[in-house]
Amino acid sequence: MVIESLFYFSLAVLQALEDGLKKADADPSVKAVMICGENGKFSAGADIRGFSAPQSHPGIGLAPIVSLIESSEKPVVAAIEGVALGGGLEVALGCHYRVAHVKARMGLPEVTIGLLPGAEGTQRLPRLIGVPAALDMITTGKHIPATEALKLGLVDEIAEENTIEAAIRLANKVIGQPLAPRRLSLKPVPTLPNMEAFLREALVKVKKQARGCLAPELCVQAVRAASERPFAEGLRRERELFRLLLSSGQARALQYAFFAERAVRRWATPAGASWSSANAQPVRSAAVIGLGTMGRGIVTSLVKANIPVVALEQDLENLKKGRKAVMLLLEREAMKMEGGAQRLDFHNPARLQFTVDFDLLRDVDLVIEAVFENMALKKEIFHKLSKICKPGALLCTNTSALNINEIASATSRPQQVIGTHFFSPAHVMRLLEIIYGSHTSPSAIATAMQLAKALNKIGVVVGNCFGFVGNRMMFPYVQQAVFLLEEGSRPEAVDEVLEDFGFKIGPFRMSDLAGLDVGWRSRQGQGLTGPSLPAGTPARQRHGQRYSPLPDLLCEHGRFGQKTGHGWYLYEKAGGRTATPDPWLHNFLARYRDTHGIKARAIDQEEILERCLFALINEGFAILAEGIASGPEHLDVIYINGYGWPRHRGGPMFYASTVGLPRVLAKLEQYSEVHPDVPGLRPNAFLRKLVAVGSPPLQEWMSYVSWQSPKL
């Protein structure tokens, strides 16, 4: 008998499975059962949206179905095609045999949505493949290919072609064989000589990586229960831990992030452009200009995506340096890949060519400029590109903050100019901020989005303003962090609070890593410091607003961060990575406060957290109100994937909604009253409006935006 199921489980699917199994068991003419999915996909598990209404969630009925399958007196074989994920794999684990198509992928990704495999998966998988492999799958949520599943013993057979036929063949072969040895609930968990030490170390490891996210830790506890308790007791523990996660709030945040990342694929601009009005142009070849920190990673990303690249530098010396760095990155990437260097083929000049000659850019479909952050230089390059490149070529700039319209104005084809803001390291970070200018065509946006997909990145389309979305929200956050130092705090205290919140790295460690000179040059360019600053400008004020010259002063002392061996912290050497609190800096701060008559005060963790985060969130409301982003999900996806925002907190705007908008507003009002010269703390009008209309759910925020002057 064949039972088909659907892509994700609904109550109807579970009912059909139950009915089918009962019918098969009762029918003497049925000798074996095969369970498969529809349309070449076994199952992606439970419908994730349903977890927000747990009482009616189809998942509740899943565990009894898995038990029912396992207890069948007739052999049940799973035919896995496409994916078997979450509850889908748990159903397969209830089966007595598993056959997978060679291209199928399997996994228990519940941890990534803040849960654990709650349909008995944490108890069956360790019994089948042992604790180390099960723990790895359950705590990372990774999808493994069928070939690896076979090696682990997760599947019994791989089918190169027709999986259903292979599963039926296997079912016929095993009719009459004893089923008890195939029932995972009856098997003991394979022992390890050092199980206790292994589980203890695993817990320490996941806690370190999880940065406050509960699910990985509870997954370890559930697997520990499998190794220590009889099956039925292990199940009780699994259920208890599942409930804990479901009510923790983190699951909701992680599930929101899952759907937000998919929602941003459906881009739209305030002018009405979207996928439906735009065709992406094919990108068969590309060029990258500038092989510094960013250019190297971008070239690597393109080569990995199988797009032939011309890599260009300003002179032979920089070209040699850039080529060496790119080759090193590609060698490393190749080592991580199946097929390695051969598959990447980067020694082939038809795939990757290094040059200083702009003429070689004549035929490429797309150019990404990644030279210094200098408007005059970028305009010079774009003017040249506009003359040299073929008519349809897309011209992208990797600027971090500069005006796309001004860069486009240097060309004769502003409709083909677009910002593609990669994040460092560009071959690793998943975010690609895609910035359209006033003249950028819908087709250019669609092509950049398509490129993001080809590079395995998450493209987020945003409007043009200084710093775009990510960096614009970052400015008030970093500004608050520096003001807190002026007022009495220390870099290590501020970083600790934000790292405890879940950021991968606090603002001062981040600034040391990126290099303080980057911001210094930008502030010099804006006339905020350096020789162009008018004489007599007060040290701690610019344009009537509070300003901290602390980062400028550090740069004047040659403290650029890791690269010089000292910045906000001290490092073991120039280029060192181990940050230690620096007594020199503490003395420097004390002298600075004396000079400016600032009385240091004790600043508690709550103030540090709120001032940094609420200033960032406040800017987010301004961005939404101005139409720079289509929705809060865009801001959240940018922060999770580009700025190390803890995913289990759902992104800054989601976080604001969980804190409660009235509280965010009240706190901003309170801080703004104390610091009236800091516009970043002045509550944004859109935040006020949302509170005034009763703080609607985040999904409804954009319906309260008045689109009077979208800034394109």
Ligand X SMILES: CC(C)(COP(=O)(O)OP(=O)(O)OC[C@H]1O[C@@H](n2cnc3c(N)ncnc32)[C@H](O)[C@@H]1OP(=O)(O)O)[C@@H](O)C(=O)NCCC(=O)NCCSC(=O)CC(=O)CCCCCCCCCCCCC(=O)O
Task: Indicate which residues carry an active-site annotation.
Answer: 90, 110
Q: Which two tokens stand for residue 323?
A: 């080529």
- The nearer residue to ligand X, 8 or 547, going by C-beta atoms, is 8
Q: How far is the CB of 312 from ligand NAI (least distance, A)?
A: 6
Check: CB of residue 93 under 8 Å from CB of residue 184: yes
Q: Does 368 bind ligand X (CB under 6 A)?
A: no
Residue whose C-alpha is closest to residue 270's, from 607, 647, 569, 623: 623
Between CA 150 and CA 368 the distance in angstroms is 42
Residue 295 contact partner, candidates ligand X, ligand NAI, none, CB within 5 to 8 A by sort of partner: ligand NAI
Q: Which two tokens stand for residue 257?
A: 């992030």
Residue 614 contact partner, candidates ligand NAI, ligand X, none, CB within 5 to 8 A by sort of partner: none
Between CA 239 and CA 55 the distance in angstroms is 14
Check: CB of residue 421 under 8 Å from CB of residue 450: no
Q: How far is the CB of 368 from ligand NAI (least distance, A)?
A: 10
Q: How far is the CB of 457 from ligand NAI (least distance, A)?
A: 13
Q: How far is the CB of 293 from ligand NAI (least distance, A)?
A: 4
C-alpha count within 13 angstroms, C-beta hemisphere, residue 553: 14
Residue 399 contact partner, candidates ligand X, ligand NAI, none, CB within 5 to 8 A by sort of partner: ligand NAI
- The nearer residue to ligand NAI, 67 or 318, going by C-beta atoms, is 318
Query: What angle, 0 to 180 degrees and rounded to 10, lies between the N-to-C axes of helices 250-263 and 652-659?
Result: 140
Q: Which of 5, 24, 37, 45 binds ligand X (CB under 6 A)?
A: 45
- Residue 3, H or E segment: strand 2-5
Q: Which of 23, 49, 200, 332 binds ligand X (CB under 6 A)?
A: 49
Write out the residues near ligand NAI by the rule CB under 6 A: 289-295, 312-314, 318, 322, 370-373, 377, 381, 398-400, 421-424, 514
Torsions phi, psi of 426, nearest 5? -65, -20
Q: How far is the CB of 237 from ligand X (least distance, A)?
A: 13
- The nearer residue to ligand X, 87 or 476, going by C-beta atoms, is 87
Q: Does 55 bind ligand X (CB under 6 A)?
A: yes
Q: Does 137 bind ligand X (CB under 6 A)?
A: no
Between CA 513 and CA 505 the distance in angstroms is 10
Sorted by sequence, the CB contacts under 8 Å of residue 141 that are 6+ apart come out as 107, 108, 109, 110, 111, 112
What strands lie across the sheet with 286-289, from one edge to the other? 352-355, 309-312, 286-289, 366-369, 394-397, 417-422, 431-436, 458-462
Q: Does 109 bind ligand X (CB under 6 A)?
A: yes
Residue 46 contact partner, candidates ligand X, ligand NAI, none, CB within 5 to 8 A by sort of partner: ligand X
Q: Does 68 bind ligand X (CB under 6 A)?
A: no
- The nearer residue to ligand X, 291 or 455, going by C-beta atoms, is 455
Residue whose C-alpha is closest to residue 712's, from 445, 428, 494: 445
In the window 575-614, what residues touch ligand X (CB under 6 A)? none
Residue 514 contact partner, candidates ligand NAI, ligand X, none, CB within 5 to 8 A by sort of partner: ligand NAI
Check: CB of residue 334 under 8 Å from CB of residue 340: yes
Check: CB of residue 560 under 8 Å from CB of residue 516: yes
Q: How far is the CB of 566 from ligand NAI (least distance, A)?
A: 20
Q: Which of 85, 125, 431, 668 binds ligand X (CB under 6 A)?
A: 85
Site residues, ligand X (CB under 6 A): 8, 44-49, 54-55, 59-60, 62, 83, 85-87, 109-110, 113, 118-119, 242-243, 246, 259, 262
